[in-house]
Amino acid sequence: MISLEVRVARRLTQLPPYLFVEIDRKKREAAARGVDIINLGIGDPDLPTPEPIIQALEAGASRSANHRYPDSEGLGSFRRACAEWYARRFGVTLDPEREVLTLIGAKEGIGHLPLALVDPGDVVLIPDPAYPVYQAGTVFAGGEPYFLPLRRENGFLPDLEAIPEAVLRRAKLIFANYPNNPTGAVAPREFYPRLVEFAARHGIIVAQDNTYSEIAYDGYRPPSFLEVPGAKEVGIEFHSLSKTFNMTGWRIGFVVGHAGVVDALRRVKSNLDSGAFNAVQEAGITALANAEAIAARNSAIYQERRDLLIAGLRSVGLSVESPRATFYVWPTVPEGYTSASFVSLLIEQTGIVCTPGNGFGRQGEGYVRFALTAGRDRLRVAVERMKGALERQA
């Protein structure tokens, strides 16, 4: 039989290579040489899912009603639990029927959103650096990304007033993400009102990604974009149970806000997937009911790790701010290195895996991202090894 040569669709070739594939290869090479790997590369909690959530899944998995296709909008009971949590946590009122939609992880909803809103030729405003899925979803829908540089001197906030008029006229959608991956930045109080005003003025839909709202430090409580009056009229907010509850493998998240946008995304999903396993949604109800206690426990653990790693990075001469939320640390690379060359040095000489900043966009060049997904003992070892490697280079 002749094996056809596959010429993939242009939309695939338009994407930057998915970053973690390349890092994975280097990691495997180092591991094959016998190097002990300390993986701070991917934002995937090392802590287990809390026991009550697992028990809820076990109970739900035994119920035969749950073995059938789920509804594409999600279980009513899960959507009500999302709305109750929003009321409790943010003081935001949501109609669980029209303003809440279950997702198979936030990534699924983010990736599909442009299919619901964006026509070829429409512009999507995307932060740079950013979670890569904003760009991928845009390109898959035939939209045109326009990148908004996030710079340290601006607190890693986009300069909305610097966007050219011609771009604004074609812009359909803007992504925001605070607390921010990869920079660890948080949105100051005045940012969301500004974003709502900007969106209303230019007729641009806001998609704010609040995946890290529950991982925060020093008493800081990240707000919801929907707390701002008028926000629900211009946009939506994504949430994930992945990072908050150590459930990345379970694939469960949700989106809330503007009923028309939520419905448009539901229509895309009803044609492409058949929703999240009902038993996982039932486990999600248990997670949300215990959100405060679980989030406090996780954040306390990450905060100790943060303090240890920040002190360690500074002691080896890296310039870094201490994040108030997220489990990411975003230092600039030492003098004489690029993001890529510093990541290579670390993998090859220390076994530490981190992510090159430029993998999140051009503005990420000169930074690397460490995820706080290893225990303090391992982080101490990481800092010691880094010190050794940098001294050998000097």
Is 135 a binding residue for ligand PLP by CB under 6 A? The answer is: no
> CA 64, CA 79: separation in Å to the nearest integer?
21
Identify which of residues 73 and 209 has a Cβ nearer to ligand PLP in the complex: 209
Site for ligand PLP in 246-285 (CB under 6 A): 248, 253
Q: Which of helix, strand or coil describes residue 372?
A: coil
Nearer residue to ligand PLP within complex by CB, 113 or 171: 113
- State the minimum distance, in angstroms, from the CB of residue 245 to ligand PLP: 10
Q: How far apart are CA 41 and CA 30, in angstroms?
A: 14
Beta carbons within 10 angstroms of residue 190's beta carbon: 9
Contact flag: residue 211 with ligand PLP (CB under 6 A): yes
- How many residues of this chain bind ligand PLP (CB under 6 A)? 14
Pick from 23, 38, 41, 43 the residue near ligand PLP by CB under 6 A.
43
Sign of CA dihedral 115, 116, 120, 124: negative
Local structure of residue 209 (DSSP, 8 states):
E
Q: How far is the CB of 28 from ligand PLP (least distance, A)?
A: 23
Give CA–CA dist 127/361, Å, rounded. Answer: 9
Alpha-carbon distance 134 to 137, whole Å?
6
Residue nearer to ligand PLP on the CB measure, 131 or 225: 131
- How far apart CA 265 and CA 236 sit, in angstroms, is 11
Question: Using the rule CB under 6 A, is 106 a contact of ligand PLP?
Answer: yes
Q: How far is the CB of 237 from ligand PLP (least distance, A)?
A: 11
222 interacts with ligand PLP by CB under 6 A: no
For residue 18, what is the DSSP state? Answer: -
| Position 244 contacts ligand PLP (CB under 6 A) | no
Distance CA(348)–CA(354), nearest Å, equals 12
- Which of 27, 79, 107, 306 binds ligand PLP (CB under 6 A)? It is 107
d(CA 301, CA 308): 11
In the complex, the smallest distance separating the C-beta of residue 65 from ligand PLP, rounded to whole angstroms, is 25
Instruction: Return the number of the residue (30 or 115) whose C-beta is nearest ligand PLP.
Output: 115
- The residue with tokens 């090894």 is 385
The footprint of ligand PLP (CB under 6 A) covers 43, 105-107, 131, 177, 181, 209, 211, 240, 242-243, 248, 253
